[in-house]
Structure 1
C-alpha cells in the first residue's frame, strides 16, 4: 500500500477547493483558452439540424421529431432519463443517419469546426467503423470518408481563424467480434490520420481481454491503445485493460477511486492498482457531465476528478458525447471551475496533461504545448490581471 501523508497541492496542479474559494472563470475566457480533447465520440456530437437534414437526405424516418430545437432537447432528456434503453436509442438515431460517405464526411467536418470554435486546438475523435456499414459501405470507405471530413473541417476552421488538429481513433465494439479487423485498419491508416485504437460498449460481461488478439497485434505493430474501462463496471475492467491489454490510456477510469481509501485524518491510502496507474502516469480520460448522466458520479462537486487531481493522477477533461450531454469543453471547464474553484492555471495544467498523453509524436506534442498552449494561457493570464 502507498499512503499519502496528507493532501499535497503543488503549484503545477489544481488546488484543494477546501483551501480557499476562487471566483468562477468568466465564460468568454474559458472559451478562448486553448484546450486539448482526447475522448469525444463522433456519433455523439452531431448538430441537431444536421441530423434532421441527413435523415431527409438518406430516407431515415425514425427520428422522434424533425424540429431541430426539439430534437436537441430530446437527446439530452433521453440521456438524462436514467433509462439505458432510451440512452442507447439516441445513438441509434445518430448512427442511423451516418451511413453514406457524404454524411460521414459532413459530420466529421462539422465536428472539427465546432470543436475549433470552442477553443480546442487538438482533438482525438473516435468512432466505430463497424457501425456505419448498414448500407453496404466497406470499412475502408467509412474510414476514408471520416478522415476526408476531418481534413475539410480543419481547413474550414483555419479559414475562420480557429486552428485545430484532429486525430482519429478507431473503435471496436466490445460486444462484437471485429476487433482484430478494426485493429488492422488502425495499422493501414496510421500515417493518414488514425492515431490509435479503442474498444467501447457494455463493460459488464464483456471484459477487454475478450479482444486480446487485437491488443497483442497492435502492441506488436507499435500502435497506441486506449480502452473504455472503469466507467460502468469497476476495478476488474481497469485491471485487465492495464495488466493484460497494455493500454496507454484509460477511457473514463473514474472507478479507480474504488482502490483509494480516505483516512479519518484526510490522507489517502492507494491500493496497488491505483498506485500503479498513478506511478506509471496512465492518463485518465475523464468526462464529468457524461459520468453524472450514467451514474458514475453523483455531481460535479462529488466527481472523483477532484480527488484524483489532488493526488496527482494524470487527469484530463473531456466531453464524451457533446450532443447527448448538451456539453462542450468550455462547459466542462466552467462546471469544474464552479465545483472546485479551478482557475486558468488549473485549465492549463489539465490541457498540458492531455497533450502529453496525445497519440501523436513527441515533437508535435511539444510544439503544441510550447508554441500554442503556454503562450495563449500567458496572454489570457495577463489580460485578466
Structure 2
C-alpha cells in the first residue's frame, strides 16, 4: 500500500515547494552545518535539532494533510532529504527513518489508532523507530524470532531487535514480531510506547560513520503491549514491513545523492584552490575528468531517484524502481566520496576536511534498508519471473 497519492498537478515545482526547499537550506545552514563536525566526532545525538525540524513541519512531509502531514509529493520530500543529507547525513537518515516509522499506523492503523498516535508522530514532537532486523535475521527478515504471545488484553513480547536507528531515544517503536510459526505469514506489527515495561535498549553501537546517529539493540523482556496496539491484523506484519521498506529505500537513496553532491562540491572547491606545479590542480586533466565523472554519476543517481518518486506519486508500482534507485545511488555515493578523498590527497585522510567523514558515512548506505545485494535480487527477480 502506497502513501496517499498526490494529484499530478502537484508534480511540477510550485511556489510552495520552492519555498520549502529554501527553508530547508536556511535551517541546514543555521542549525546543522555549524554542529555536524563536533557532534559526529563526539557521537552526540541531535535530539534538539530534530525538534527544530519537527517544529518546521519537516518530519511529516509525505503524509496527507487530513491526518496531520505536510501533504507534499514524495518527489519534494526526497529533495528535502537530499538537502539535509548534504549538510548532515545522520540527520537526514533520522528524518527518513522517522517517516518510515510513521508508515504502519498511517497506512494500516484503525481510526482509533490514528487518532491516538498520529498527532504525536506527525506533529514533530515524537520520534519513531522501526524494528525489523534481529541479530540472526537481517536480509532474511522473515526469519525473525522475537515472539509475541497473547495474554488476555496484552501481547507479551520477548526478543531482541538489532541495528535500530533511534534505539533508546525513540518515543515509539514499531515492533515486527512473530505471533505464529507460519513463516512470513506468522509476523505481526505492534506499535509500542518507549515507556512500555520490559522494553529497553542496549548501549549504542560503535560505528565507522554516522556516529551521531543513535543505533542500538532494542531489548524486549516480557514487554506487555496492549492488543489494541496491533497494527492491521495478525499475520499482516511482513506485508506492512515490506511496503514500508519500498518507501524507505527511496529515502536512503535521496540521502546518498545528498552526501555524494556534498562530496562533489567539496572536491570541486578544493581543486580550484589547491595549487601544484604552478597551477590549480583542477586544471590538470586527470583531476578535471575525475570531477566530471563524479558530477555525472550524481546527476544520474538523482534522476533515477526522482523518477521512482514520480511513479510513486502517480500511484504506479515503484518497488523495482526503488530498488534500482537505492542500489545505484548508494554505490555512486561510495564511489564519489572515495574519489573526493583522492582529490584532496593527504588532506582528504584527516578530520580537518569533511571528505574523510563522507567516505566513512557512505558505506552504511549500501547496507541499510536492504543491502545492495538484496536490491539486485529484487531487480533480478523482476526480470526473470
Establish whether TM, by shorter chain, passes 0.5: no
Higher helix share: 2
**What TM-score, normalized by structure 1, do the two folds share?**
0.28
Q: Give 1 or 2 for the bigger CA radius of gyration.
A: 2
Higher RCO (C-alpha 8 Å, min separation 6): 1
